Amino acid sequence: MPTQDAWPALPLSAWADTYATLHMWTQIVGKIRLALAPRVNHWWHVPLYVSARGLTSSAIPYGSRTFEMTFDFIDHQLRLDTCDGNRRTVALAPRTVADFYADVMESVRALQIDVGIWPMPVEVPSPIRFDQDTQHASYDPMWANRWWRILQQVDGVFQEFRGRFLGKSSPVHFFWGSFDLAVTRFNGRPAPLRSDPIMREAYSHEVISAGFWPGGGAVPDTSFYAYAAPEPAGFKGASVSPADATYRRDLGEYLLPYESMRTAASPRNVLLEFLQTTYEAGADPQAWNRQALERQ
């Protein structure tokens, strides 16, 4: 596939309204998974996953049945499927979050799945309850499809990078709270306890994490990021490549602009270089046992 097709442009300003609406829609589906999926360490029962057509919750057990919720960014619908062959669909089209929320919850009930969720968005400024949100109502199918196609490409590179590591590593998963695709490596050592219970579970052990985020707030456009938690001495001054990767002191993260990566001669190699050098910047000062943890 030509590079320009595999890694198309994704300027935040061009799809900001669709992004904001999709953020709320994915939170609704994600909260259903959070409510019903068995708990897994570091909140790994919470995210969604890149699929061949969009984003999926994966199979969720419900009594003697299982069900799955899938955002289809080709046919532009949310599919709710149960193991006994029943299906409900919710249209992905310009509509308010309140309308989408009501349709999703009615569809879940129609499949005889009893679930209640806290209808307040998380990790966003000035949140509006799902059932009262008539502000976010944009959906451009072209931009939604383009964003997902980029997620597919990023997911493939992240999977390749994950496969190089023999130690504990997260799946490549999509966190609907922060709207980013991430992969995290662990060295097995406990980390200092955090006061916030959510962060305490997420960062119970030393990690080096990388991800892909459309941007927002202090980050004006689509970027890759990488950080170490806890951050070791010397991390921010490490030799990281490519040259366009920079350390943001306000975030405690390295950022690589997506536009810089996608326009390189080999975007895949540039992204792998960023992932590897930021990993080394965190692993070496903390004396990770790299010989045991990495494929030689």
pLDDT digits (tens, 9 = 90+) for 120-133: 999 999 999 999 99
- pLDDT score recorded for residue 3: 54
Among candidates 77, 76, 97, which has minimal Cα distance to 25?
Answer: 97
Which residues are 216's β-sheet partners? 219
Tell me the per-residue pLDDT of 265-283, one tens digit each, with 9 for 90 and over: 999 999 999 999 999 999 9
- The DSSP result for 168-179, as a single string, is -B---EEETTTT
| pLDDT confidence band for 296 (50 / 70 / 90) | confident
Contacts 24+ apart (CB under 8 A), 97-100: 97/21, 97/24, 97/25, 97/28, 97/128, 97/130, 97/133, 97/134, 97/135, 97/136, 97/137, 98/130, 98/131, 98/132, 98/133, 98/134, 100/24, 100/25, 100/28
- Mean of the pLDDT values across residues 172-199? 97
- pLDDT score recorded for residue 35: 98
Check: pTM over 0.75? Answer yes or no.
Answer: yes
Mention every residue, 6+ apart, whose C-beta is less than 8 A from residue 127: 120, 121
Percentage of the chain exceeding pLDDT 90: 97
Percentage of the chain exceeding pLDDT 70: 99
| Nearest-angstrom CA–CA distance, 176 and 184 | 16
- Mean of the pLDDT values across residues 39-44? 96
Do 140 and 11 meet the contact criterion of CB atoms below 8 Å apart? no
Do 213 and 5 meet the contact criterion of CB atoms below 8 Å apart? no
| pLDDT confidence band for 5 (50 / 70 / 90) | confident
| pLDDT confidence band for 25 (50 / 70 / 90) | very high
| pLDDT confidence band for 207 (50 / 70 / 90) | very high
Do 220 and 200 meet the contact criterion of CB atoms below 8 Å apart? no
CA dihedral sign of residues 17, 19, 21, 24? negative
- Mean of the pLDDT values across residues 33-56? 97
Res 105 pLDDT > 80: yes
- pLDDT score recorded for residue 200: 96
- Mean of the pLDDT values across residues 60-76? 98
Computed over every residue of the chain, the mean pLDDT equals: 96
Among candidates 236, 255, 184, which has minimal Cα distance to 42?
Answer: 184
| Nearest-angstrom CA–CA distance, 87 and 161 | 36
